Amino acid sequence: QRVIVKNIPPLESTPSLLSQNNVLTKITADLQEIHKKNLYRKITKIDTVQAPHITCHNKDMILLASNNYLGLINHPNIKNAAIAALKEFGTGSGGSRLTTGTNPLHISLEKKLAQFKHFPAALLFNTGYMANVGVISALADKNTIIFSDELNHASIIDGCRLSKAKTIIYQHNNMADLENKIKLADTANGIIVSDAVFSMDGDVANLPQILSLAKRYGLLTIFDEAHSTGVIGAAGRGIVEYYNSSLKPDIIVGTMSKALASEGGFICADTLIIDYLKNKARSFIFSTSLSPAVIASSMEALNILENNPSLVKQLQSNTAYFCNCLQQNNITAASPSAIVPIVIGDEKKCSLIADNLFADNIYLSAIRYPTVKTGEARLRAAIMASHSHNDLSIAANKIASAINSIT
Ligand code: PMP
């Protein structure tokens, strides 16, 4: 039965007692500055399920900005699994993992993730963000040196900051720069951390060379597989499969919020590291664990992925098709993942192109400073296995006309 929400009268605004507070003065000035620089971030409401076609601002639009890479968010088996778990275990998990918040679903999903990634053990976190922050701040301290790719995700950066380790940033995927910096640092207490697929560029980290440097210099390796799980490698197992590598990183960080159509982060590693994280990772210890429906959704998404590698092929061929459509319009585009960056450069032009595309029923993100460097603003298209070729060619043609009408 539908719940009818009646119009709720707005609360009368009460003057804040703290209107003279310095913090409020500072944030007011900061916000004004953000607006002035055209960098204000808005929240857009999407009224339908995440699918190739959405309703947004009362319009039917083609969505090219979702992390729902395999198109599984509305899959009936996943929804049924979520409903069954909710019926059996209720709506919430009732506690943090080390108190009352572990049920059989958590244990089974950890086993499944470890097996899927071919690791001895896995540990769930509430988000990928919390997994990165938790693992890095648990393993590193002020005596550790972390080598971090300059384009790593914000959650890796925040994990490094929280750990108080000395963090040395190397040039993006530049192995000579990384090796120079490792030699200069001369440490036996170091970690290399990298995105597996870079979230704003869509390119893949140089796993073989990073692992070989790590071996040569005795460093631990962490790879963030947020955008590679379900996306790269013949069966969507991620970066190790992509390179057919016989060697694995020490630690994989993942999220179930993208190709796995659910939410929650995870770490795969050997049992010693997982055991340590259970005792030391504060974002694991001090937060209520994931709810039953969420866990069951991730589990079913993994089952579907394992039984249907053709879904991954479909995603990969859709991305190649979309890049090809752009190239036919003389737009440079290529990507080994499902993220296709179309670099515009100027921030204002990029926002204007994205706004014009939005008016033309194409929803994709304009990525600007501080997410990417100044002058490297870009449109960022995210492809789904469920896009039709028709959706993708219409979108590519409209993107090309929008760019040509501005530049
Ligand atoms: N790592 C990368 C590379 C990401 O892009 C994201 C999400 N944007 C995360 C981690 C965080 O994952 P989650 O959304 O599950 O917190």
Please identify, among 233, 255, 290, the residue that sits at the C-terminal boundary of a domain: 290
Residue 3 falls inside a structural domain: no
Residue 171 falls inside a structural domain: yes
108 is known as an active-site residue = no
Are the beta carbons of 385 and 337 closer than 8 angstroms? no
From 68, 193, 257, mutation site for ligand 1 pocket: most ligand atoms within 8 A of C-beta: 257
Q: Which residues contact 43 (CB under 8 A, 6 or more apart)?
A: none
Q: What angle do CA 95, 99, 100 make, to 5 degrees?
A: 55
Distance 325 CA to ligand 1 centre (A): 28
User: Domain total for the chain?
Assistant: 2
What is the structure's pLDDT at 12? 66
Q: Which residues contact 234 (CB under 8 A, 6 or more apart)?
A: 241, 309, 312, 313
The active-site residue out of 106, 227, 248, 387 is 227
Closest ligand 1 atom to Cα of 255: 15
Residue 353 falls inside a structural domain: yes
From 113, 129, 152, mutation site for ligand 1 pocket: most ligand atoms within 8 A of C-beta: 129
What is the structure's pLDDT at 265? 98
Distance 72 CA to ligand 1 centre (A): 18
Residue 263 falls inside a structural domain: yes
What is the structure's pLDDT at 169? 98
Query: Residue 7, Cα to own-chain centre: how many angstroms?
Result: 36
- Count of CB atoms within 10 A of residue 288's CB? 15
Task: Identify the domain containing residue 279 by its residue range.
Answer: 93-290
- Count of CB atoms within 10 A of residue 132's CB? 31
- Residue of the nearest CA to atom 4 in ligand 1? 226
142 is known as an active-site residue = no
Q: Which helix (H) or strand (E) holds 394?
A: helix 389-406
Q: Are residues 147 and 194 in the same domain?
A: yes
Distance 163 CA to ligand 1 centre (A): 19
Distance 156 CA to ligand 1 centre (A): 9
351 is known as an active-site residue = no
| CATH (domain of 313) | 3.90.1150.10
Backbone phi, then psi, for 230, in 5-degree steps?
Answer: 80, 0
What is the structure's pLDDT at 407? 72
Strands 377-382 and 339-345: antiparallel
| CATH (domain of 231) | 3.40.640.10
Residue 79 falls inside a structural domain: no
Q: Are residues 158 and 230 in the same domain?
A: yes
Using the 8-state DSSP alphabet, how is residue 159 labeled?
H
d(CA 48, CA 65): 14
Q: Are residues 331 and 401 in the same domain?
A: yes
- Residue of the nearest CA to atom 5 in ligand 1? 199
- Count of CB atoms within 10 A of residue 402's CB? 21
Please identify, among 290, 323, 340, the residue that sits at the C-terminal boundary of a domain: 290
Q: Which helix (H) or strand (E) holds 145?
A: strand 145-149
3-state secondary structure of 220: strand
Q: Are residues 58 and 100 in the same domain?
A: no
Q: Are residues 119 and 218 in the same domain?
A: yes
From 50, 199, 337, mutation site for ligand 1 pocket: most ligand atoms within 8 A of C-beta: 199
Are the beta carbons of 396 and 326 closer than 8 angstroms? yes
d(CA 40, CA 43): 10
Q: What is the mean pLDDT of each run of 10 residues along the chain (407 residues)?
A: 60 65 90 87 93 97 98 98 98 98 98 98 98 98 98 97 98 98 93 97 98 98 98 98 96 98 98 98 98 98 97 98 97 97 94 96 92 93 98 98 91
Distance 47 CA to ligand 1 centre (A): 23
Q: Are residues 253 and 148 in the same domain?
A: yes
Are the beta carbons of 241 and 233 closer than 8 angstroms? yes
| Predicted TM-score (pTM) of this structure | 0.94
The active-site residue out of 66, 93, 155, 199 is 199
d(CA 169, CA 265): 24
Among left, alpha and beta (phi > 0; psi -120 to 50; other), residue 173 is left
Q: Residues with beta carbon inside 6 Å of ligand 1?
A: 127-129, 132, 153, 155, 195, 199, 224, 226-227, 255, 257, 265
Q: Are residues 202 and 333 in the same domain?
A: no
Are the beta carbons of 364 and 379 closer than 8 angstroms? yes
Residue 251 falls inside a structural domain: yes
Distance 84 CA to ligand 1 centre (A): 27
Distance 392 CA to ligand 1 centre (A): 25
From 153, 200, 256, mutation site for ligand 1 pocket: most ligand atoms within 8 A of C-beta: 153
Are the beta carbons of 250 and 240 closer than 8 angstroms? no
Alpha helix stretches (DSSP H) within 140-225: 154-163, 175-185, 207-217
d(CA 173, CA 6): 54
Packing angle of the helix pair 389-406, 309-328 (nearest 10 deg): 30
- Residue of the nearest CA to atom 13 in ligand 1? 128
Query: Residue 25, Cα to own-chain centre: how many angstroms?
Result: 34
Closest ligand 1 atom to Cα of 256: 15
